[in-house]
Structure 1
Amino acid sequence: MLSHGIHNPRSRRALGAIAAALIAGSAVLFSAAPASAHDELLSTDPADGSTAAAMPEQITFTFSANISPDDGATEIAATDAGGTSVLAGDPVVQDNTVTQPLAAGGSGEITVLWKVVSSDGHPISGEFAFTVEAAEPTASASAAPTATASGSASASAQPSETPSPTATTAGDEAGSSSALPWIIGGGIALAVVAAVVYLVVRRPRTSSSSDQ
C-alpha cells in the first residue's frame, strides 16, 4: 500500500512541484546575496542639504566597508553654482573613509559627485549638495583716525600768543652798539673844546704878567 502511494502519478507531480519551488527559491536567494553585499555610503560631512557658515576645509565620506585605495579608483568632483571647481588636491582613502580637501573662499550651493570602488570590486557612485553662506563685508574704520589727525593739525596750526624775547633783546643790543661811537666821539669833542678854552684863557694872563 505504501509503495503504491509513492508511485502514484499525482504524488510524483506534487513532489516535482515542491522540488521546482525549492530550486527557484534557492536561485533567488543566491542571486540576491552578491547584490546586497555591495558597500554603500553611510554619511557625509557636510551632510546633504546642510548649510555651512564658511567653506569647510574638507568633505568626509563614510562607507559601510573599506574602499579600494588603488589609483583612480576614487573620483570626486565639487563645483559651485557657476560650475567652478572648489577642490584643493586629491582625495585620501583610509579604510572606509574618503577625505577630499576643499579650497577656501567659495560660497553658494556646492554640488558634489563621487565614485568609489567597493570592497568587492564593484564601483558605486552618488551625488549630494550643501550650501555655503556668503561672507559679509566688513565696515571700514578709517574715518575716526582721519578726523583725529585733522583735529591735531588744526590745533598745531594755531599761532602762539607768547612773544619771543629773542627779537627784543637783539634790537636793544643793536641800538646800544650803534649809539656807542656817538658817545665816544662826543667825549673826545668835549675834551678838545675844553683844551682850546684852557689855552685861550691861559694865554692873555701870561702876556699881562710879562708887561709889568
Structure 2
Amino acid sequence: MRRFVIGAVALLVAVLGVIPAAQAHDYLVGSTPKLNSTITAAPKQVSLKFNDIVLTRPAPPELSVQGPDGRYYETGCATVSDTTVVVPVALGGAGKYTVTWRIVSADGHPVSDSISFTYRPTAGVTGAKGIAAPKSCAVDAGASNSATKPTSSSGGVPTGAVVAVVIIVIVGVAGAALIVLTRGRRRPDEALEDDDED
C-alpha cells in the first residue's frame, strides 16, 4: 500500500509538471539585427525569432521600429512564418533604434517586449524620413500561413487538453489512493466483534 501511494504521488507530480510547459509564453530567442548590436549597413527588414510558433489570431502580430528621432521606420506590416516575425524597414539617420513587438504566443496569450540596436551608416548615406506613428496593420497579414493554430512540430500543445488530462489523472489517483487506504483499515465495530468472539 505504501509503495502504491508513493508511486501515485510521483505520477501526480510528473503530470503536474506538464502544465507550466504547456502554459509558458513564447519568448525571443534571436533577432536580426541582433540585440544591442551595432550595424553599418541598413537592413531591408527586421526579424524576430521566438521559441515556439506565433499565432496570427485572434490578433495579427504588431512590430514597430522607432528611430533616435522618435519616428517610425517600418514600411509594411509584420508577417509570420511559424516562429519568425518579419517586418520590412527603411532606416533613417544614425543612432539607436528600438524594435517593439506584440504577438499572440502558442498558448494563446499576448506577449510584448522590445529590443534595440544601433545604426552607424557610413558618411554620405542618406536615410529614410520615417513616419510620425507606427504603421497601422488592421488586416491579418499572416492569416494564410500555418501559424494560425497552436499545433506545430515545435511543440505547441493546446492548454485546455492538457489541463483536462491532468484533472482526470488527479481524480483517478486520488480515488485509487482512497480505495486502497479504506480497504487497508478495519472499522472499529468489526474489531470489537472479533475481540468478543475471542
TM-score (structure 1 length as normaliser): 0.49
Deviations 1:6-25 (A, max 9, x none): 9xxxxxxx89x969965884
Shift of 1:89: 1.1
1:35 aligns with 2:23: yes
Q: Percent identity?
A: 30
Choose which of 31, 42, 55 in structure 2 pairs with 1:55: 42
C-alpha displacement of 1:96: 1.8
| Residue pair 2:78, 2:85 contacting (<8 A) in 1 also | yes
Aligned counterpart in structure 2 of residue 96 of structure 1, from 83, 98, 101: 83
Matched, 1:118 2:125: no
Q: Is the 8 A contact 2:22 2:107 kept in 1?
A: no
Question: Is the Cα contact below 8 Å between 1:117 and 1:124 reproduced in 2?
Answer: yes
Contact 1:41-1:62 at 8 Å conserved across structures = yes
Greater RCO structure (CA 8 Å; 6+ sep): 2
Task: State the match for 1:85 in structure 2.
Answer: 72
> 1:124-163 CA distances to partner (integer Å, 9 max, x unpaired)?
222110010144139xxxxxxxxxxxxxxxxxxxxxxxxx
Summarize deviations over 1:36-66 as a string: whole Å, max 9, x none.
Answer: 4x33222101000111113211101122222
Runs of 4+ in 1 over 3 A off after TM superposition: 17-28
User: Following the alignment from structure 2 to structure 1, what is the Cα–Cα distance between the partners of residues 21 and 60?
Assistant: 24
1:109 aligned to which of 67, 85, 96 = 96
1:128 aligns with 2:110: no
User: Which ranges in structure 1 are unaligned for 5 or more consecutive residues?
Assistant: 1-5, 7-13, 139-212
Task: Return the alpha-carbon distance in structure 2 between the equivalents of residues 115 and 61 of structure 1.
Answer: 11
Report if aligned partners of 1:55, 1:107 keep a CA contact under 8 Å in 2. no
Q: Which residue of 1 aligns with 2:57?
A: 70
Question: Does the CA contact (< 8 Å) of 2:23 and 2:107 recur in 1?
Answer: no
Q: Is the 8 A contact 2:42 2:121 kept in 1?
A: no
Structure 2 unaligned regions, length at least 5: 126-198
Structure of larger gyration radius = 1
Write the distance in 2 (CA, Å) between the matches of 1:117 and 1:99: 15
The 3 A distance-change label for structure 1 pair 116 and 46 is: same
More helix by share: 1
